[in-house]
A = this chain, B = another copy of it.
């Protein structure tokens, strides 16, 4: 590894060099599709290049015509999600929602945020799956994810929490605990919908689930004494 550049820098460069989908060959697109399918279901290490080739209906050599190694395939799948979707796209919506502070109440902001995140995950389920799976093992991916996306969201949220607390809309509470509560509820929504309890979750619409969650986040589950 060249220690001159950080993973983030080389990732950014890597994405720059990535062709976008329009100028891909048909074969190349089917390689990507096959890789996404296999990585999402079996994981990176358990998927062989032979399998990917077969699933894509392509000779194994063709894969290495476009990607110089197997890890390069993973990066080609993960990097755009990380840099193009996760970072700007995710953050763009979040920024937009947060910036409409003046028009919206805190509850409305959070409601929009949650709904938006649920939609985003639903639309990119496999990519999210791969990203999280590989973040478990690959320190580089995990740290990039944390240092870009998480830190930025945290910064944005901190500002919002500070403003709204000062305005008397929020209770005076440790701001890290408030941030954690907001994020936990969001993670809980995604987790219950997609992993732990999809059937139970689907008994009511996403909008209803979001509304109930925001209500609890704002006012808690207890009756006041």
Q: Which residues of A contact B (CB under 8 A)?
A: 42-43, 45-46, 106-107, 129, 132-133, 136-137, 146, 150, 154, 168-171, 173-174, 176-178, 180-185, 187-189, 191-192, 196-197, 200-201, 203-204, 209, 212-213, 215-224
Q: Chain copies in the assembly?
A: 2
- Smallest CB separation, A3 vs chain B (Å): 21
Verify B209–A177 contact, CB threshold 8 A: yes
Q: Which residues of B contact A45 (CB under 8 A)?
A: 43, 45-46
A137 touches B209 (CB 8 A): no
User: Is the pair A177, B217 in contact by a Cβ cutoff of 8 Å?
Assistant: no
User: Contact at A219–B220, with CB atoms within 8 Å?
Assistant: yes
Min CB gap A155→B, angstroms = 12
CA distance A220 to B196 in the complex (A): 24
Quick check: B221 and A173 within 8 Å, CB to CB? yes
Nearest-Cβ distance from residue A35 to partner chain B, whole angstroms: 16
Q: A43-B45, A45-B43 are in contact. Are A178 and B216 (CB under 8 A)?
A: yes
Chain B proximity of A97: nearest CB distance (Å): 17
A197: which B residues are within 8 A, CB to CB? 150, 154, 176
Inter-chain contacts of A201 with B (CB < 8 A): 176
C-alpha gap A133/B134 in the complex (Å) = 10
Cα A168 to Cα B224 in complex, Å, equals 10
Give Cα A154 to B204, complex, Å.
18
- Determine the chain B residues whose CB is within 8 A of the CB of A209 once the complex forms: 177
Cβ contacts under 8 Å, A132 to chain B: 136
